[in-house]
Amino acid sequence: MEVIVRRDKEAATDLVARLVVKQVMDDPTSVLGLATGRTMEAVYDRLVDIDAKEGVDFSHVSTFNLDEYVGLAPEDENSYRSYMNKYLFDRVNINKANTYIPNGIAEDLEEECRMYEAKIRAAGGIDFQLLGIGSSGHIGFNEPLSALLSLTRVKALNPETIEQNSPLFPSPEMMPRRAITMGVDTIIKSRRAVLLATGESKAEIIAKAVEGPLTSIVTASALQLHKHCTIVVDEDAAKLLKMRDYYDWVFNNEPEWEDFR
């Protein structure tokens, strides 16, 4: 695991967007794992901006989103399909036929989860997984006590998650209580993972995920097992990290980061 601390939210967001662009430039047929949420809105805005200025060809890219609410149709304005169309897919030259999001209104949800895993395998696995982190420590909707070997499945949402996300709905009672999510093991099997967290409100959970014990209570701590994971945070989100000096030294000295310093 690598930890990179940037001076502010804008710099952290720019770095993550640049890493996505590098992945697509290096492999135009990349399979991207995508995330949603308020943190990701800035990432997608920055991607669109880079595309407009420099040109990024997404036409051969495939994407798999982490999750979708159970009970929301793709055309529902609160669905993650609508989110992705609004913030990214409608703004770049991606082929929507190659963009996959779980079907939250599938007649057989268990079969939908099995099929989603099968589609990821058929695509050759996820090359680059983009992640945020919830205040409960979840990645995707893998709430506390999610099995670290879990695959795509339906999960009941934590009350903390419901409280965090319900303001995004017209009224709190419209917030779904369940979601389909990629499993922890599905995420860990990606070839590269990049997690972005910004703001002081994420400082405590980032410290637990990065420097705390590996535990299903904080599912993001499972990223400690990932073979190539980068955590990107701003100064506020890094406030409780004890090994900050070492993280800075690695970023300033490792050849991998020369083009991003």
Euclidean distance between CA atoms 147 and 158, whole angstroms: 15
Q: Is 226 annotated as catalytic?
A: no
> CA–CA separation, 9 vs 29, rounded Å?
29
Rg of the chain on CA atoms, in Å: 17
Q: Which of 51, 143, 185, 234 is catalytic?
A: 143
3-state secondary structure of 113: helix
Query: Which DSSP category does 260 fall into?
Result: G
Is residue 143 flagged as an active site residue?
yes
Give the whole-angstrom CA distance, residue 226 versus residue 172: 35
| 127, 32 Cβ separation under 8 angstroms | yes
The sheet carrying 178-181 orders its strands as 67-69, 178-181, 153-156
Question: Which among 67, 68, 127, 185 is annotated as catalytic?
Answer: 67
CA angle 70, 74, 80 (to 5 degrees): 70
The catalytic residue among 127, 138, 226, 234 is: 138
8 is catalytic: no
The residues annotated as belonging to the active site are: 67, 138, 143
